[in-house]
Structure 1
């Protein structure tokens, strides 16, 4: 009889402790918020190869609602063929900060996200695709955009100061290309970009100049005086942007980081 009472007592303790243990385990999870971890506007850039097709690069904005839904308008170059498209789908964030996306077009992606949701690295899980990228959060929550009415309300003034930029890619029919340079934006829609470029191993200095535009959704464009075209996505405070060359035959994209907040700082 005494032994049964002990067993019953231990069972009661076990049932009492179990919920607390589960709660503690949940609180100890890397990403205890689950899908809420991934919430807001993100800018993403990716590079890679589609086997038997050619090189690919993508720059775009992904909007996650914190409830498992994503919308991703982006610009992509596949072997030099440029297109703008929108991908939508469902996502899941696990407690260990790994996650997955299944798009309605059948594409699958796996990712790992930081616990605060500020950044995630992703890889395409599509046979024949060798593609991966990084996404940086633009706003902490979708409500941040609703409060101001725009992600980048300053327009062209968002992009103001000196930036360092690095890019890699391919010119179809020519060979690989990489470039490093400094870009000065005046906050009024004009830029100057001295840089060093290597095209298939031929090194040369060059300078691009021209106008630029930053839209209220933080998406922008550049048209250089030499005829080159670029699209970009910038953070609301203007500290970083990802860009993509939108001229046919070029699979070329890069990232720029601000060196000085304003040209006056230099």
Structure 2
């Protein structure tokens, strides 16, 4: 029993320290450069969707996208704005209407996202390929 209690205390302490390590680590400039991404899920009508693309983030709250949607031949483009909080969370809002919650790696090399638009179940990941 003592070992179990000690283990729980160690795990709880590690989680608390880990959470504190992220506090204040991210800024708007954390997301800057060229990113490749993938996303999959369902749209508001329940239709399956999958896409890949590239996005360029300017480090000041704006981005542009080139999107390849599975099942379509033409590439699409979009743009939008984003926010980054000190705790490495954020949001991205596309001109086309989608809004996503972001969970950002402390150095901004990658982030995962999930739709916050009612009825849209979509998630994916962006990975920085060039910091320029």
Give your verdict on TM over 0.5. yes
* Structure 1 unaligned blocks of 5 or more: 1-32, 41-63, 66-139
Residue in structure 2 matching 1:187, options 59, 62, 81? 59
Taking the aligned partners of 1:239 and 1:159, their CA distance within structure 2 comes to 8
Q: Compare relative contact order (CA 8 Å, sep 6+) and give the higher one, 1 or 2.
A: 2
Q: Does 1:237 align with 2:82?
A: no
**Residue 258 (structure 1) shift:** 0.9
CA shift digits 1:151-183 (9 cap, x unpaired): 32xx11000111110111012435110010111
Unaligned runs of 5+ in 2: 1-5
- TM-score, normalised with respect to structure 1: 0.43
In the other structure, the counterpart of 1:150 is: 24
Superposition misfits of 4+ residues, deviation over 3 angstroms:
33-40, 201-204
Shift of 1:243: 0.5
Distance across 1 between alignment mates of 2:78 and 2:28: 18
Q: Is the 8 A contact 1:39 1:142 kept in 2?
A: no
Provide the rounded CA distance (Å) in 1 between the counterparts of 2:12 and 2:77.
39
**By how many angstroms is 1:142 displaced?**
3.7
Q: Name the residue aligned to 2:18.
A: 141
Aligned to 1:247: 117
Please say if 1:170 is aligned against 2:42.
yes
**Cα deviation code 1:19-54 (max 9, x no counterpart):** xxxxxxxxxxxxxx95546766xxxxxxxxxxxxxx
Larger Rg: 1
Go from structure 1 to structure 2 and tell me whether the alpha carbon gap of 1:188 and 1:176 turns closer, same or farther (over 3 Å shift): same
Residues paired across the two proteins, number: 126
SS in 2 for 1:141: helix
Change (3 A) 1:175 1:203: farther
* Residue 141 (structure 1) shift: 2.6
Q: Distance in 2 between matches of 1:209 and 1:172?
A: 21
User: Scaled by the length of structure 2, what TM-score is found?
Assistant: 0.82
Q: Equivalences for 1:95-114 in 2 at 5 Å? A: none
Alpha-carbon separation, structure 1, partners of 2:69 and 2:94: 16
Task: Give the C-alpha shift of residue 202 in structure 1.
Answer: 4.2
Q: More strand per residue: 1 or 2?
A: 1
